[in-house]
Each structure stands twice: as structure tokens, then as C-alpha cells.
């Protein structure tokens, strides 16, 4: 995987076929952060007056996630492979706005995976052997973080 800055200010993330499939598999998991995770009320101090606003927020987040799912599918379909001696490569062109969009999606995946693992401290994950149900969530969390780092480094 290679990121280069183009003369027009855009970035190109050139990915091998396996890397591209891995990113597509990762993005297909969106969303992982539950819409009801977002709340205007504190769990320790629920305000009955905010119940309607909380429902509006959950509905808005749910609609946003549905819209994003469609955007992700359209974006993936728009990327055309380029053939070379080594096989297919996927040149992913993006600007700062698209990078931010991807970082937000990756953050949802990372946080949602972490939440599904009951919000473990980093040392907890390295202290025990994950079971078969935890491995996919750990993979999503770690690979999302890797792609976030690549995009953030390209932007800086």
C-alpha cells in the first residue's frame, strides 16, 4: 500500500488486490456503533423532558448510518482496478474531505468493535487469548486503526 500526494492536492492510495478486498470487507461491516449509543441524557441523570429529543437523535443517527451505507457501496463500486505486471492494483484517489469521510467511517467501526468487546482496556486485550467471537471484532478494531493512521499521516 502506497500513499502519494498529487500535484492537484489530492492523494492516491494505491492498493494491491488483497489490500483492497480487506478494506472492502472492513467497510461492509459499517455501522457497528449502535444508533442508540448517542444520547442527550446522562444515564445517571435522565431528564424526562429530553426523551423526545433523544428519540429524534437516534432516528437521525440511524438515517445518517443508512445513507452512509449506500455511499460506501457506491464509492467501492466507483473504484476501477488497474492491471500491471503484478496483477490488479486499486488506485484510490481522495481529497481531504473524502479522507475525513473515511476516517469517520473507520472510527465508527473501531469504536463499535471496541464497544462490542465491552470496552476493554488495551492491556486487557493483550493479556488474554481472544475467543472465536472476539477475533473478528479485534480484527475490525485494529485494521480500522491502521487505515485511520495511514489517512491521518497522508493529511499531515
Q: At residue 50, does pLDDT exceed 80?
A: no
Look up the domain containing 60 and give its range: 2-155
Cell numbers linked to 155: 493529511
Helix (H) / strand (E) containing 88 = strand 87-94
pTM: 0.88
Question: pLDDT tens-digit profile of 65-99?
Answer: 999 999 999 999 999 999 988 789 999 999 999 99
Q: State the pLDDT at residue 45.
A: 62
Q: At residue 49, does pLDDT exceed 90?
A: no
Question: pLDDT tens-digit profile of 134-150?
Answer: 999 999 999 999 999 99
CA dihedral 36, 41, 47, 49 (to 10 degrees): -60
Better-scored residue on pLDDT, 73 or 55:
73
Q: Total domain count for the chain?
A: 1
Spatial contact of 93 and 102, defined as CB atoms under 8 Å apart: no
CA dihedral 99, 103, 73, 134 (to 10 degrees): 150
The pLDDT of 13-24, averaged and rounded, is 95
Q: State the pLDDT at residue 46.
A: 67
Amino acid at each position: 500500500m502506497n500513499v502519494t500526494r498529487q500535484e492537484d492536492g489530492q492523494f492516491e492510495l494505491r492498493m494491491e488486490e488483497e489490500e483492497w478486498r480487506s478494506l472492502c470487507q472492513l467497510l461492509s461491516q459499517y455501522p457497528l456503533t449502535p444508533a442508540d449509543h448517542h444520547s442527550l441524557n446522562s444515564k445517571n441523570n435522565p431528564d424526562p423532558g429530553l426523551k423526545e429529543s433523544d428519540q429524534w437523535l437516534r432516528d437521525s443517527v440511524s438515517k445518517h448510518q443508512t445513507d452512509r451505507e449506500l455511499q460506501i457501496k457506491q464509492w467501492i463500486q466507483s473504484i476501477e482496478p488497474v492491471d500491471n505486471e503484478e496483477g490488479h492494483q486499486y488506485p484510490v484517489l481522495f481529497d481531504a474531505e473524502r479522507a475525513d469521510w473515511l476516517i469517520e467511517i473507520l472510527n465508527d467501526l473501531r469504536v463499535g468493535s471496541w464497544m462490542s468487546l465491552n470496552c476493554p482496556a488495551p492491556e486487557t486485550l493483550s493479556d488474554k487469548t481472544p475467543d472465536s467471537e472476539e477475533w473478528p471484532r479485534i480484527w475490525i478494531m485494529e485494521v480500522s486503526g491502521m487505515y485511520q493512521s495511514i489517512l491521518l499521516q497522508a493529511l499531515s
